[in-house]
Amino acid sequence: MKQELAYWMALAHLPKLTTKLKNELIVKIFYDKKTIIEFFQFDREILKNKYLLNDNEIELLEESKKQLPNYAFMVEDLLEQGYDIIPINSEDYPTTLKNNLKRTYSPPLIYSKGNKQLFKEKSVAIVGSRDASEISLNFTDKIALEASKNFKVVVSGFAKGVDKQALDSSLKYIGQSIIVLPQGIMTFDSGFKKYHKQIVDGNVIVLSTFFPKAPWSVKLAMARNPIIYGLAEEIYVAESSEKGGTWSGVIDGLRKGRKIYVRKPELNEPNANNILIEKGALPVDSLGKLIEPVLYEEQNEDIRFISEPQKNLSNNIIYDLLIHGEYSSKEIIRKLKLEMDSKKLTKMLKEDQEVKTIDGKPIKFTMKSNEDLSLF
Amino acid sequence: MTRKEAEIKLKSIFGFEKFYDEQWKTIDLLLKGNRVLLIEKTGFGKSLCYQFPAIIFEGLTIIFSPLIALMRDQVRSLNEKGIQSRFINSEQSPEENKTVIQEALAGKIKILYIAPERQENQEWIEATRSMKLSMIVIDEAHTISIWGHDFRPSFRRIINLVELLPKGLPVLATTATATKIVEADVQTQIGNNVTTIRGNLMRENFNLFVIEVRSEDEKLIWLAEKLNKIEGNGIIYTGTRINTEVYSNWLNFMNISCIRYNARLEAAERKEIELGLMNNRWKCVVTTNALGMGIDKPDIRFIIHTQIPASPIHYYQEIGRAGRDGKPANIILFFNSTKDDRNIFEDSKLQLAFIEGSRPSIAEYENVITTLKNELLSQTELYKKTNLNKNKINVIKADLIDQKIIKEVNNQGKKKYQYQHNAPPLNSEIFRKLREKKLKELEDMICYVNTKNSRMDYLCSYLGDTNINGLKNCDNTNYNKRIFKGNKEIETKLEEFRESNFPELIIKENNVGISIGVAASYYGDTNVGKTIHKCKYENGGDFPDYLLELTLKAFRKKYGTQKYDYICYIPPTESGELVKNFVIKLGEALKIPITHKLQKTKHTNPQKVFKNIDLKKDNVRNVFKYEQPSEIDNKSIIIFDDIWDSGATIKEVRKLLINLNAKTITSLVIAKTVGGDI
């Protein structure tokens, strides 16, 4: 709904409130079958009692209400210039981003220009340093080639080094790319000129989660990293030092339980890839192939790469599956080629705090977090 | 606020005792945060309907208006009443506009008038982020409808804006001319439960006449004979820019004081003429419809149309400027009722040509689309790449933007045109519909000429007035018909005028137009034009002697007393020896030697191949040389060519001769085109 967009901007760019609080308000509005326009017309009592906002937060909301006409001017300009403004409840909003970042981190509003269909495709992020080595750039090229062969979209951050390589290679192999900006979308003029043809042809979409006029800054570049990780189903790290954007991005990703592939460095390579692998990232070779855990597994042919799930399912691939939908135990076993009894799995999943049980025949499971986000 | 309270305030600030009921109804709705469409005739007091609430509201009221002259007058009068008001438009310098924006940001202004084009300006958009806005007004709102008679693409963005504005922010759209269709369209576009208030559009103080003539000359003769007998000062509307020159030259020739006005004139000159009109400096201003919208002159006593306008709505709008003071005004329409062999009225031909010529071909649209698919381009880049002229590019890009195929984006401080991913295909059906609608409206205009009933009734019912009551104020009801009787003496004068009125060749230097020569005639739809075309493009042989006589007359009248050393001529691209043969005869008659030493250094294409001025300039840039440069030093030279179109060729030669230190340079051509009609 076009008429809602000024309101969405007002909410999304409300200062001082956390993303989580904003998303919770949105969920509540949705639950109550209200529109965001109606929300902005609620009186203080309703905001206080039903939406549980404190006086300070209500004050901020009142202040932003006054700016609605101003946001209307801005929305008009954005739309006129061919930008898409996508609220979190829109069908166009990338599901992968919502699934990965959940309520706590999903930006309530994103801005884009280009083929929105790319948000719906399978996606690979390739990340790494701005001053990456030749080896890392070659690795990036290979991953991009592989992605384009498999019709996966390459997500990258438009910085020098690995980011740039990821984009260039993706375009070279006539693949598709999502460019995640470290700045407001209206400050990317040179890029829109340069990638005009690719955008017209539907091979590139540019995305920003920041205020449209915000200039590049270190802060925004850092804030952009989780968005890159959030937009990708697979994450490949070409090269990371022990600090900086790539490093903190990977650490953040691991903390959130993401599966992250890190290029296994050659001996004496001056980077921190090995440390990331030690911290739980998965090592891959220069072609992106998983380097499997070694030695004793070779002695026992019966042991599959994926063994019986532990009681504690955190970081488990079952989560990765359940995040995408509802499955019965049998379906899970078949899809993930697990070797275990379906009754045992059912019992285990029923006990799992993170997993939601859906009664029926057969009993199905999904992630609890999905429940929140499907409301959007 | 009650009406009583409001009227106390009205008295103290505006000096009026009471609101009209419709005024108060509008104001009351706005004060309560509603959206209103107000259709009232000129002089009703529409502006009070937004000026009053604007002073009640806490923040700023923005008025989008296409009428620069009106802005100026209203802002002055508001400031006199102590209401802080400003305007932003192209008439002010960027610095002045910037100051206004700063004042608006600082909350020092209550009412801000702004031209709708400004919505495309980034500085303005940037500023709107932090202004405290209370109300939005769209003046002349019929211009937001493509079904209106004066659709303006720049208003499209205002409509987009209105759609996005939050609920509860009052919006007022006003117009004096909206048919039922336009009314419905504007209502939909403004949306959000708009209330429409429509008053009656009768203008009792008009005296409406239609004068039937049998030729274009009869119009000139009638005016020369009668204009000074019509009371007061007024406006003559002509259909074309050429005719503003022809009519004003003719009337001046007949000692009737007048001046021509059209959109081609410099802004400063236009302003000067508008000011002169206000002060009755001339009996009349002869103008295209570029003048009128928003001229806030209460005592225009007559408005005469030399050709029928495009529709009854255009006509109502254009005559609407007369007699705002309520005193009688004479409204005259000439109609040449002769028909050609296809049974088409001479008088509708111009409008038909506008209708048929107003839209580029589908191939030209596709050309622009294909070009923009590959690259992000500015307007200049676009028209160099497509070889389409400015007018066409303007029409095409407005249509493509409207159809969401391209967008006008800001890129590195420049406006660029961007093809949109997933753009829909071109919809040409809408063009066909608009064309049919225009043809129908032209027929309706001819019905106005031929009606036997009250003319005012006809116009008002056309505009959707339901309250028609047989108003008697025209030559069908209570006035005598004006009939052309002829005047031999003036006819002779007209012939004399024809042989002495020659178009000047004007070029711009540092944005000032200067005359650098003379043409024997216009090219356009004239006998001279037809003759030249036949000789040049249909192997019609040498230019006939009557052209030589006419050219000599033109030259002698303007430059007869000056001495010249040489005549040089533009070497031809394709018409062979025509120009050379002509210039030899010319030289013999004037007794000035011919020089053949102006030459081209490389092959050029005929200028007419290029459809825009930049490409024409590129085609002739640095292609001329003079074989014996010392010959030019300190000499007076005539540059001759057959046709002056863009003037690019002659300008290029002038540049060369100036560099060779020529003393004076005069350009002479047989015919001058008007707006690239070659």
User: pLDDT tens for residues A229-262?
Assistant: 999 999 999 999 988 888 988 998 898 888 899 9
How far, in Å, are B218, B225, B232, B259 from residue B229 at the CA level?
17, 8, 9, 18
Answer whether A72 sits within 8 Å of B161, measured CB to CB. yes
Contact B566, B637 (CB under 8 A): yes
Residues of B in contact with A37 (CB under 8 A): 166-167
Contact B152, B66 (CB under 8 A): yes
Residues of B in contact with A80 (CB under 8 A): 157, 160, 407-408
- Tell me how far apart the alpha carbons of residues A151 and A185 are, in angstroms, rounded to a whole number: 26
β-pairing verdict for B258-261 and B284-287: parallel
Per-residue pLDDT band at A307 (split at 50, 70, 90): very low
B172 membership: H or E segment, kind and range: strand B171-175
- Tell me how far apart the alpha carbons of residues A306 and A295 are, in angstroms, rounded to a whole number: 16
Please state the φ and ψ torsions of residue B625, each to the nearest 5 degrees: -145, 160
Contact B418, A196 (CB under 8 A): yes
Distance from CA of A212 to the nearest CA of B (A): 11
Distance from CA of A199 to the nearest CA of B (A): 6
Which tokens belong to A274?
């090995």
**Res B44: pLDDT:** 86
Length of chain A (residues) = 376
Answer whether B125 sits within 8 Å of A74, measured CB to CB. yes
Instruction: Name residue, tokens 């103008």.
Output: B287
Residues of A in contact with B422 (CB under 8 A): 115, 202
Answer whether B376 sits within 8 Å of A202, measured CB to CB. no
Answer whether B408 sits within 8 Å of A74, measured CB to CB. no
**Res A302: pLDDT:** 44
By a Cβ cutoff of 8 Å, what residues of chain B touch chain A? 119, 125-126, 128-133, 136, 157, 160-161, 163-169, 373-376, 407-412, 416, 418-422
* CB hemisphere CA count around A124 (13 angstroms): 27
Residue B421 has pLDDT above 60, yes or no: yes
Peptide bond connecting A362 to the previous residue in cis, omega within 30 degrees of 0: yes
- Tell me how far apart the alpha carbons of residues A238 and A257 are, in angstroms, rounded to a whole number: 19
Q: Average pLDDT, stretch A197-215?
A: 96
Instruction: Name residue, tokens 């004096």.
Output: B176
Taking alpha carbons only, the member of B98, B95, B177, B174 closest to residue B136 is: B174
Nearest CB to B130; choose among A2, A70, A115: A70
Indicate the class that CATH gives domain B502-672.
Answer: alpha beta
Beta carbons within 8 Å of B8's beta carbon, 6+ residues apart: none
Distance from CA of B166 to the nearest CA of A (A): 6
Give the chain B residue whose CA is nearest to the CA of A66.
B132
Nearest CB to A73; choose among B125, B373, B376: B125
Strand order, beta sheet including B302-305 = B206-213, B329-336, B302-305, B234-237, B284-287, B258-261
- Tell me how far apart the alpha carbons of residues B84 and B112 are, in angstroms, rounded to a whole number: 9
Indicate the class that CATH gives domain B3-198.
Answer: alpha beta
Domain ranges of chain B: 3-198, 206-351+446-495, 362-427, 502-672
| Overall pTM > 0.95 | no
Strands annotated E in B55-163: 60-64, 85-88, 111-114, 133-138
**Of B133-147, B518-532, B657-671, which gets the smallest average pLDDT?**
B518-532
**Res B448: pLDDT:** 97
β-pairing verdict for B624-626 and B598-600: antiparallel
- Tell me how far apart the alpha carbons of residues A341 and A351 are, in angstroms, rounded to a whole number: 16
**Res A313: pLDDT:** 47
- Tell me how far apart the alpha carbons of residues A30 and B139 are, in angstroms, rounded to a whole number: 39
Answer whether A72 sits within 8 Å of B164, measured CB to CB. yes
**Res A371: pLDDT:** 54
Taking alpha carbons only, the member of A120, A145, A285 closest to residue A205 is: A120
**Res B485: pLDDT:** 87
Size of interface A-B (CB pairs under 8 A): 93
Answer whether A189 sits within 8 Å of B422, measured CB to CB. no
Q: Average pLDDT, stretch B347-376?
A: 89
Per-residue pLDDT band at B575 (split at 50, 70, 90): low
Q: Average pLDDT, stretch B371-391?
A: 90
Per-residue pLDDT band at B64 (split at 50, 70, 90): very high
Which tokens belong to A246?
């790539």
Average pLDDT, chain A: 88
Please state the φ and ψ torsions of residue B235, each to the nearest 5 degrees: -130, 140
Contact B406, B372 (CB under 8 A): yes
- Tell me how far apart the alpha carbons of residues B230 and B283 are, in angstroms, rounded to a whole number: 10
Beta carbons within 8 Å of B485's beta carbon, 6+ residues apart: none
Answer whether B157 sits within 8 Å of A68, measured CB to CB. no
Which of A176, A185, A196 to probe the B interface (max B CBs under 10 A)? Answer: A196
**Of A28-42, A335-349, B102-116, B436-450, which gets the smallest average pLDDT?**
A335-349
Residues of A in contact with B374 (CB under 8 A): 196-197
Enter the CATH code of domain B206-351+446-495: 3.40.50.300
The whole-angstrom distance between residue B593's C-alpha and the CA centroid of its chain comes to 43
**What would the 3-class secondary structure string for chain A be?**
CHHHHHHHHHHHCCCCCCHHHHHHHHHHHHHCCCCHHHHHHCCHHHHHHCCCCCHHHHHHHHHHHHCHHHHHHHHHHHHHCCCEEEECCCCCCCHHHHHHHHHHHCCCEEEEEECHHHHHCCEEEEEECCCCCHHHHHHHHHHHHHHHHCCCEEEECCCCCHHHHHHHHHHHCCCEEEEECCCCHHHCHHHHHHCHHHHHCCCEEEEECCCCCCCCCHHHHHHHHHHHHHHCCEEEEEECCCCHHHHHHHHHHHHCCCCEEEECCCCCCCCCHHHHHHCCCEEECCCCCECCCCCHHHHCCCCCCCCCCCCCCCCCHHHHHHCCCCEEHHHHHHHHCCCCCHHHHHHHHHHCCCEEEECCCCCEEEEHHHHHHHCC
> Is there a shared CATH topology between the B3-198 domain and the B206-351+446-495 domain?
yes
Contact B246, B501 (CB under 8 A): yes
The model's pLDDT over B606-655, given as tens digits with 9 standing for 90+, comes to 877 777 777 788 888 888 999 988 989 999 999 999 988 888 899 999 99
Exposure string (b/e) for A105-129, b if CB count within 10 Å is 16 or more?
A: bbbbbbbbbbbbebbeeebbbbbbb
- Tell me how far apart the alpha carbons of residues A8 and A11 are, in angstroms, rounded to a whole number: 5
Which tokens belong to B448?
């106005």
The whole-angstrom distance between residue A222's C-alpha and the CA centroid of its chain comes to 14
Nearest CB to B163; choose among A3, A192, A202: A3
Distance from CA of A206 to the nearest CA of B (A): 12
Please state the φ and ψ torsions of residue B138, each to the nearest 5 degrees: -115, 110
Exposure string (b/e) for A80-91, b if CB count within 10 Å is 16 or more?
A: bbbbbbbbbbbe
Give the chain A residue whose CA is nearest to the CA of B377.
A193
Nearest CB to B374; choose among A76, A193, A197: A197
Of residues B137 and B511, the one with the higher pLDDT is B137
Rounded (5°) CA angle B498-B502-B505: 160
**Of A199-208, B206-215, B420-429, B539-548, which gets the smallest average pLDDT?**
B539-548
Distance from CA of B649 to the nearest CA of A (A): 35
Contact A290, A328 (CB under 8 A): no
Which of B130, B376, B403 to probe the A interface (max A CBs under 10 A)? Answer: B376
Residues of B in contact with A114 (CB under 8 A): 421
The model's pLDDT over A4-61, given as tens digits with 9 standing for 90+, comes to 999 999 999 999 999 999 999 999 999 889 999 999 999 999 999 999 999 999 999 9
Nearest CB to A70; choose among B129, B167, B411: B129
- Tell me how far apart the alpha carbons of residues B311 and B315 are, in angstroms, rounded to a whole number: 6
**Res B678: pLDDT:** 42
Count CB-CB contacts under 10 A for residue B125.
21
Architecture of domain B362-427: Orthogonal Bundle (1.10)
- Tell me how far apart the alpha carbons of residues B422 and B532 are, in angstroms, rounded to a whole number: 49
- Tell me how far apart the alpha carbons of residues B256 and B246 are, in angstroms, rounded to a whole number: 13
Taking alpha carbons only, the member of A242, A271, A248, A243 closest to residue A260 is: A248
Answer whether B409 sits within 8 Å of A82, measured CB to CB. yes
- Tell me how far apart the alpha carbons of residues A182 and B233 are, in angstroms, rounded to a whole number: 64
Q: What percent of chain B has pLDDT over 70?
A: 97
Answer whether B164 sits within 8 Å of A200, measured CB to CB. no
* β-sheet bridge partners, residue B595: B568
